[in-house]
Amino acid sequence: MIATTPVRTWELERTPDLIDVVSAARDAGQEVLLIERPMPEAVSVAALGRAFDIVAAGAGVSLEDTDGVVVDFEPGDDRLLAAARLWRRVGASLSSGAAFPIAVGGFAYRPHRDPGGPWSGFPSLLLRVPALTLMRTRGRTFATAATAEAADLLDLEPRSVSTRAARTLTVSPIRNPVAWTAAVESAAARLRAGEAEKVVLAREVMAHGDGVVAAANVARSLRSAYPSCFIYLITGADGTAFVGASPELLVRRSGTRAYAQPMAGSVARGSTEAEDDRLARQLEASAKDGAEHRLVSNFVVEALRPFARTVSARPPEVVRFTNIQHLATAVTADLRAPAADALELAAALHPTPAVGGWPRDAADALIDDLEGMERGWYAGAVGWIDAHGDGEFAVALRCGLLWEDGARLYAGVGVMPDSDAARELDETDLKLKALLTALT
């Protein structure tokens, strides 16, 4: 039995800046999560404090209260599906009249494997029912309180700090670029030998600042620079913060409709509109990028079919972000009744070949052999789900794990049999710029 006060929801008279809200709460010692998409029709969620956590534990997931006491457990080798089953029970138990709870969080690239090393503050899966949730949609902000004192979190003020913000960075790769490009060459050779069709290899770089690297300030910079991306900030139990600006929607579920937008294949932005167009045409004509993208989009369509009456995919298009262009395919599914919820759909899709490769087991074996780093939540997913099963998860890309004066930053590329290692290295540098610019 879950002991709790009734969940209540109300509309705020003003629309607060959600980054300011989570910054003030974090300054006050609260655990915070933020998933923001500054688009007119998008949904943004800020989570303050903790009422309950659904967290990876043993061969399944546990429900823990504010004191860390386990009050429920759901077994299962697939922790995402176990979390979906447990969330249905929790959501039904906490719902009160017209008020419904929301769980916010995400999961690692490998949800079945507990992260280690620098990711020790993050379990492989965490979905939090916050003490207070702020949801902004279409210019209106609604608050949902799951504890008696949760509304007090709205009155917190940002702490005045005298510490100096970082102005310059010292950046160094964790792995020598020569060694990394050799790993890419080895991967391409093994793909040509038939071990897999595609594998994604990532790089990790370390950035040290000459002052404080504040997670909220990084999130603000990312929001300003990448207005069409998912901005996220999730605090770890060890004081670190996972921050990023993802361009890619893993899945969104709204009633009986599901949406995905897989991306694979990239090229830089040009300095002029004409150069942008030229580079976009180059991307569309690239045999390597086209093959990589078809592999990903076809996978997403087929993964959604078991849940849907119909699945449709638009022709690939080039989508532009501040410093990069991607091939993207919009996929829509008309779900069968009873409609699978957002977590079940995420379990079917994750990891897509855009972040792992294909076939999955063969690609993961290559990643273990060649990548040489702990991915943690990089290339996992971040998002939210409500008690109805609606929700949205973004692929955790363009990201970094921050501490007081530095960060570990991550970027990956899709390796195909004909990949050029030097070009793949350049692509990781392009992607890493998103965070490096925001850190100062």
Which residues are identified as catalytic? Answer: 198, 248
Q: Where are the beta strands (DSSP E) in 65-116?
A: 70-75, 102-107
Which of 395-427 are b and which e, b meaning 16 or more Cβ less than 10 Å from the residue's Cβ? bbbbbbbbbebbbbbbbbbbbbbebebeebbeb
Structure-token pair, residue 66: 């504010």
Q: Quick one: which of 194, 203, 179 has its CA closest to 367? A: 203
Torsion angle in degrees (nearest 10) through CA of 204, 186, 419, 367? -50
71 touches 64 (CB < 8 A): yes
Residue (of 19, 53, 23) closest to 38 by Cα position = 19
Helix (H) or strand (E) holding 27: helix 18-27
Radius of gyration of the chain (CA): 21
Q: How far, in Å, CA of 301 to CA of 262, rounded?
A: 10
Helix, strand, coil shares, percent, the chain, to 5: 30, 35, 35
C-alpha span between 311 and 301 (Å, rounded): 7
Contacts with 256 (C-beta within 8 Å, 6 or more apart), sequence order: 334, 335, 337, 339
Measured CA distances, 133 to 12, 128, 153, 355 (Å): 12, 10, 10, 30
| Strand extents, DSSP E, 177-280 | 198-209, 230-235, 241-246, 249-254, 257-260, 263-268
Residue 43 to residues 46, 55, 228, Cα–Cα distance (Å): 10, 24, 12
